[in-house]
Amino acid sequence: MKYGIAFLMTVLLISCGEEVLIKPKAVLHLSYPDAVYQKVDQQCPYSFEVNTMARIVKKNGCNMNILYPKMKAIIHLTYTPLNNNLDTLLFDAQKLTYDHTSRASKIDDFAYEDTLKNVYGQYFELGGNAATLSQFYLTDTLKHFINGSMYFNSKPNFDSLYPAAVYLRADIKKLMESLEWEN
């Protein structure tokens, strides 16, 4: 009995201390600076505004890569002059997007039209673990056609890439809205 009381007193003294608090799970919060845009003119038949945190790398002809080194992301732009091949280019641009249906959980498409600037196109948002999370094309239907795709230099993981994808989608929309054809 003496040992039982001593054991009970020891347990009571040891158990007195700080309360145990259950902490909520941590959630990664990525934030990016507010976008500041500037006009880009690369001596091509088109110009547009791009985020100042991006870097433009001109490829062959008037094809360009818009690099986001801190996000390890890239937006590929492919320019093709029209030569009675608009139907083929439209088919290829849409096929390129819908080739991702095996990995994408959804594909939302939005028509784009700016009759004042003579810019028409379509924007695609892909969900899930697809290789690209956004694609688009723009044309004036007579002379010019641009196809664009956004990629990350990492294994596709939609949950992890989502904050960066939202930020870059806003940049793509700004590019589309600011695009102007040169004469």
pLDDT along the chain (183 residues), means of 10: 71 65 65 91 92 94 94 94 94 83 80 96 88 91 95 80 90 96 85
* CA nearest to 54, candidates 76, 28, 30: 76
CA distances from 3 to 73, 104, 110, 172 (A): 68, 67, 78, 75
The token pair at 168 is 């870059």
Q: Dump pLDDT digits (tens) for 42-73.
A: 899 999 999 999 999 999 989 999 999 988 99
Per-residue model confidence (pLDDT) at position 23: 67
Per-residue model confidence (pLDDT) at position 5: 76
Per-residue model confidence (pLDDT) at position 113: 96
What the chain holds in terms of domains, given with CATH numbers, is: 36-181 (3.40.1000)
